[in-house]
Amino acid sequence: MKNNSLVLAFILTLTCFGTLHASNVMIDGLYYNLKIADSTAILTRDNNDYYAYQDYTEVIIPETITYQNIPYTVWKIDEYAFAGCTRLKSLIVPKTVTSVGYRAIHGCDSLAYLEVPDISMIYTLPNRLKHVVINGGGVDNDAFDRLRLSASYLSYLELSGVTNTTLPIRALYDCYRLDTLFLPDGLELLDYMALAECVNLKNIEIPASVQEIGDRAFENCRMLNTVTFNGENLSRIGNWAFFQCLQLQNITIPEGVTEIGYAAFYGCAYLNEVTLPSTTQQLGDQAFASCSRMTKMYVDAAFPPTIDSKTFDKVSRSMPVYVPDASVNAYQADTLWGQLNIVGASHEGTSLTNTNSTTTSIRKIIENGQLYILLPDGIRYEVTGKKIE
């Protein structure tokens, strides 16, 4: 009887709208309004039963549906479509959907898994989301605010497909359950405190497109164990960027980075090994202070980067700092670097210690008004540390 009613509704709609629309058509358990003229469909709820979806726990919305041998593209979820569906736990929205109506998933208090093409389309989010995948669009400040409503539940967030070039200020601040995060390709800046206080975040991969890690970006991410950098576009790691990331053990800063800010790795209590690139020019005051378990450091810069008196405060002065062989004397002659145990890279594993010799065969020369560093082997560097070919 119900199928006959649906057919009758379809015929009446065609009659009223000049064969342009079909309303309340059910396909695979979901209801649609069809626009025949352009073969598009809007997912809605049953006009005759407001609670038709009430017992649904999982919904996968298809990209296309077929009705009477005609395919229709699903492009919209109607307002209130799933409102009040308190048993709904999982919702997957296809990339074809470009509009979500007002309060479409309002009151879906059990919704834990959400996959959407663009989170900004959804104006009201449930506050118990655990697993969120965003496949496209941009995530603005308002959308991040809505995501943070689930801070006490959200453990997995995939942003791989979004178009953001910036992870905004405090974007995911204090999402303390978050342990898995995928950042988008094309991201250029992790802004101030973007991921601060994400105390359960364990691993993070920095896309090759990132140019700057802002101040306090990962502050107090206490379980962060591994940071993987890709590419050579990153130039600055900001002040307090990884402040008190207690579980961080090894860090390799990529080529291209010139500056590591004030207290950037302060208090990383289990940091064991650090590698700095040849492009390093400046390490801020207390950049590695209170990293008391550091056992070795590699500095590939030919010319000693600028440091301050407390850059390595409370770090053992007997810790070997491996530098290019040709630059050993320059580091040992530097007032601050010379207080550390400078060792030529080719002597790793030997018992060599810094003699603090002030003699050096490295010379500063001026040619055509330009200052250069001349090493014993005849190789020249700019004062920035860039090798002159």
pLDDT tens profile 283-309: 999 999 999 999 999 999 999 999 999
Q: How far apart are CA 285 and CA 306, in angstroms?
A: 10
To the nearest whole percent, how much of the chain has pLDDT over 90? 81
Distances 331 to 94, 224, 359, 365 between C-alpha atoms, Å? 58, 32, 11, 18
Bridge-based pairing of strands 250-252 and 380-382 is unpaired
* 84 band by pLDDT with thresholds 50, 70 and 90: very high
Average pLDDT, rounded, for the chain: 89
| Cβ-based neighbours of 130, under 8 Å, separated by 6 or more | 112, 113, 150, 153, 154, 155, 156, 177
For the residues 228-242, what does the mean pLDDT come to?
Answer: 97
Residue 138 has pLDDT above 50, yes or no: yes
What pLDDT is recorded for position 21? 74
For the residues 360-380, what does the mean pLDDT come to?
Answer: 58
For the residues 105-118, what does the mean pLDDT come to?
Answer: 96
Residue 366 has pLDDT above 60, yes or no: no
DSSP 254: P
Q: Are 213 and 234 in contact (CB under 8 A)?
A: yes
What pLDDT is recorded for position 51? 87
What pLDDT is recorded for position 361? 47
| pTM of this structure | 0.83
Give 328's Cβ-side CA count (13 Å radius).
18
Q: Are 267 and 246 in contact (CB under 8 A)?
A: yes
DSSP codes joined into one string, 9-22:
HHHHHHHHTTSSEE
Q: Judging by beta carbons within 10 Å of its beta carbon (0-12, 13-18, 19+), is residue 136 exposed, middle or buried?
A: middle
The SS3 of residue 71 is strand
Bridge-based pairing of strands 189-190 and 363-367 is unpaired
pLDDT, tens digit, 9 for 90 and up, residues 146-168: 999 999 999 999 999 999 999 99
For the residues 185-202, what does the mean pLDDT come to?
Answer: 98
In this predicted structure, which of 60-74, 190-204, 277-291, 353-367 has the lowest mean pLDDT?
353-367
Residue 387 has pLDDT above 90, yes or no: no
